[in-house]
Structure 1
Amino acid sequence: MFIATITGIILKILPMGAVGIIGIAVTALTGVLDPENSGNAIAYSLSGFANTTIWLIVLAFFIARGFIKTGLGSRIPFLFLRIDITYCSMILKIDFWLARCPYNPLLLSGI
């Protein structure tokens, strides 16, 4: 099931969320995770959502998507440019670097 879900995400058959939900549903319905006790199949399938690390990863995707869609990653360096427009080019280079530092780990695409 895991390989099928990853393959579906890579091939972009459906949006990533839909492929993930289908993968969870098929895993829960077939009882792959706990063949002896099929009553716990749904609980085992959904137990990953109780993990805080998973939610951290999901939020990182949301924040990165927001930075890309709004163009905030490009606007912050231009704000520094507008403030320091009279200084030399070395200060501008430092400003660009400082402007990208705080939120670079949040961006999954590295933009």
Structure 2
Amino acid sequence: MNKKSLWKLILILAIPCIIGFMPAPAGLSELAWVLFGIYLAAIVGLVIKPFPEPVVLLIAVAASMVVVGNLSDGAFKTTAVLSGYSSGTTWLVFSAFTLSAAFVTTGLGKRIAYLLIGKIGNTTLGLGYVTVFLDLVLAPATPSNTARAGGIVLPIINSVAVALGSEPEKSPRRVGHYLMMSFTWSPKPPAICSLPQWRGTFWR
């Protein structure tokens, strides 16, 4: 560990220690005040990054469990610290980002992009249809409109745009602009057809 990282670590450790020795404000229990210090330190850690983000968050969760185990009066159990990890929404978002990273890292997105260009993408209009059909095919198997669009479809469409020479920094107004507009609207029809994928269907 270099000197710069050491100073960052000292700063992060100092935050919960200082807050822990300060009296809790009126209306807050001692446990809530100490947990505030831990998560404030976690937020600072995510900003200054003495370690990778997962390490910072795991340390914060572990410290929270230790604090809850020692300061809780029984009304707040240690297992409550990890209760968020049992939520299906949490794992759905995690799976979406994992799939997105897999498309980029393995190059699968580029392979699918070239296949789509060769089969259907003779014109930009054809690529727009590809965007809609891809959403329509994936919709029944993906329980979330956001997860499907952001985690699966977007990496493929982005790869198609880059393969056609339209990059966000250099040439965004080429075919990439059209594809992103198509991508923005293509998830809506499949989501409306499938009740749990879009909140708007509950108001109809």
TM-score (structure 1 length as normaliser): 0.69
What is residue 46 of structure 1 aligned with on the other side? 82
Find 1:105's aligned residue among 140, 144, 150: 150
Residue 18 (1) aligns with residue 55 (2) = yes
Question: What is the match of residue 71 of structure 1?
Answer: 107
Q: Taking structure 2 as the reference length, what is the TM-score of the superposition?
A: 0.42
1:11 partner letter: I
Unpaired runs of 5+ residues, structure 1, are none
| One-letter code aligned to 2:62 | A
Q: Return the index of the structure with the highest Cα Rg.
A: 2
Q: 1:14, 1:100 → 2: CA distance?
A: 38
CA RMSD of aligned residues (A): 3.1
Stretches of structure 2 lacking an aligned partner (at least 5 in a row): 1-37, 139-147, 159-204
Q: Shift of the alpha carbon at 1:76?
A: 1.6
TM-aligned CA deviation for residue 26 of structure 1? 0.7
Distance in 1, matches of 2:48 and 2:104, equals 23
Q: Which amino acid aligns with 2:57?
A: G
Number of aligned residue pairs: 106
**Equivalent residue number for residue 118 of structure 2:** 82
Greater RCO, 1 or 2 (C-alpha within 8 Å, sep 6+): 1
